[in-house]
């Protein structure tokens, strides 16, 4: 099954919706069903994602005018998201790597 990412403009903002259902047969609208939102707790909250969830999260079916849509991407379900991944890192102190100098 595919996941669609629809990039569009709404109220002067660029937004992205993810959905499993997309229909382009209507002459003036992109029909979007079965919206997908990330699940689980987050340490970092994306304000644009939060706004999309608050605005469209309860909708079963959206009809977005074609002229507001900038890009539609299709991904196979289960493919990794293109967002950056936060990883643990270690700070290396330069002084720790140098051997101790002999005392004179």
Write down the pLDDT at residue 15: 87
- Confidence class of residue 42 from pLDDT cuts 50, 70 and 90? low
Write down the pLDDT at residue 96: 55
**Cβ-proximal residues to 69 (8 Å cutoff; 6+ apart), any chain:** 6, 7, 8, 30
Chain segment 5-28, per-residue pLDDT in tens: 999 998 888 888 899 999 999 999
Compute the C-alpha angle 88/94/95, nearest 5°: 125
Write down the pLDDT at residue 29: 95
d(CA 90, CA 104): 34
Chain segment 54-91, per-residue pLDDT in tens: 888 888 899 999 999 999 999 887 655 555 455 566 66
d(CA 26, CA 32): 11
- Confidence class of residue 4 from pLDDT cuts 50, 70 and 90? very high
């Amino acid at each position: 099954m595919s996941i669609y990412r629809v990039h569009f403009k709404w109220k002067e903002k660029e937004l992205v919706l993810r959905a499993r259902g997309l229909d382009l047969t209507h002459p003036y609208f992109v029909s979007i069903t079965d919206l997908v939102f990330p699940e689980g707790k987050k340490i970092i909250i994306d304000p644009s994602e939060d706004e999309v969830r608050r605005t469209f999260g309860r909708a079963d079916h959206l009809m977005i005018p074609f002229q507001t849509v900038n890009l539609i991407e299709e991904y196979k379900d289960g493919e990794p998201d293109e967002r950056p991944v936060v990883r643990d890192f270690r700070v290396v102190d330069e002084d720790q790597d140098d051997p101790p100098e002999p005392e004179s």
